[in-house]
């Protein structure tokens, strides 16, 4: 393993990479994701039909339920759009994996994640998720060698 480290590669933070990142790191629970929208919608319908309040307020609550439902439905599109508006979008990212951790460098962002900070290593069908106190980092298999993927999997507690 010593001859493999430090492993250095680079990738472009483009729409395909961001889409893969979202797909691999986000979990969906079906109708459970819409629970808040359904509760607010039922509350709004109750206000409209049975409680004597200003109808503008009641319809506003119903509209909020619709907006919440749409935010769940278009979650990926909204997230991708926000990422594509960032300064880092469509720029080259240099990745270095060493015995100390994972370092990502680009023109706009420099980040270092030490192996001691990783609380969970989770292999997905297209990459590896590194969970830590500050969030989740995703590394795609498309720019990693098989040996480095196995090294990464060995560095943290498994889920």
In the chain, domain spans = 2-13+93-154
Measured distance CA(5)–CA(10) in Å, rounded:
15
Whether residue 2 has pLDDT greater than 60: no
In the chain, what is the straight-line distance between the N-terminal and C-terminal CA atoms, in Å? 23
The span from the CA of 98 to the CA of 95, in Å, is 10
For residue 3, pLDDT over 80 is answered with no
Report residue 140 as tokens: 């795609």
What is the per-residue pLDDT across 4-58, written as a single tens digit (0 to 9) for each?
A: 788 999 999 999 999 999 999 988 888 899 999 999 999 999 999 988 888 999 9
The tens digit of pLDDT for each residue in 65-92 reads 999 999 999 999 999 999 999 988 999 9
pLDDT at 63 over 70: yes
Give, as one character, the DSSP assignment of residue 83: H
Question: How many Å is the Cα radius of gyration of the chain?
Answer: 21
The number of CA neighbours under 13 Å toward the Cβ of 2 is: 0
Residue 132 · residue 102 · CB < 8 Å: no
Kindly state the percentage of the chain with pLDDT values over 70: 97
Topology annotation, domain 2-13+93-154: PH-domain like (2.30.29)
């Amino acid at each position: 393993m010593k001859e493999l480290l430090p492993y250095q590669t680079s990738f472009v933070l483009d729409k395909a990479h961001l889409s893969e990142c979202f797909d691999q790191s986000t979990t969906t629970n079906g109708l459970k994701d819409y629970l808040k929208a359904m509760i607010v919608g039922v509350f709004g319908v109750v206000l409209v039909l049975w409680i004597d309040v200003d109808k503008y307020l009641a319809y506003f609550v119903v509209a909020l339920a619709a907006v919440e439902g749409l935010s769940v439905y278009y979650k990926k599109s909204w997230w991708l759009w926000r990422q594509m508006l960032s300064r880092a979008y469509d720029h080259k990212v240099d990745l270095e994996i060493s015995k100390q951790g994972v370092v990502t460098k680009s023109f706009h962002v420099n980040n270092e994640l030490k192996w001691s900070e990783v609380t969970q290593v989770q292999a997905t069908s297209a990459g590896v998720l590194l969970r830590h106190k500050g969030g989740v980092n995703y590394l795609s298999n498309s720019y990693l060698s098989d040996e480095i993927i196995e090294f990464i999997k060995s560095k943290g507690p498994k889920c």
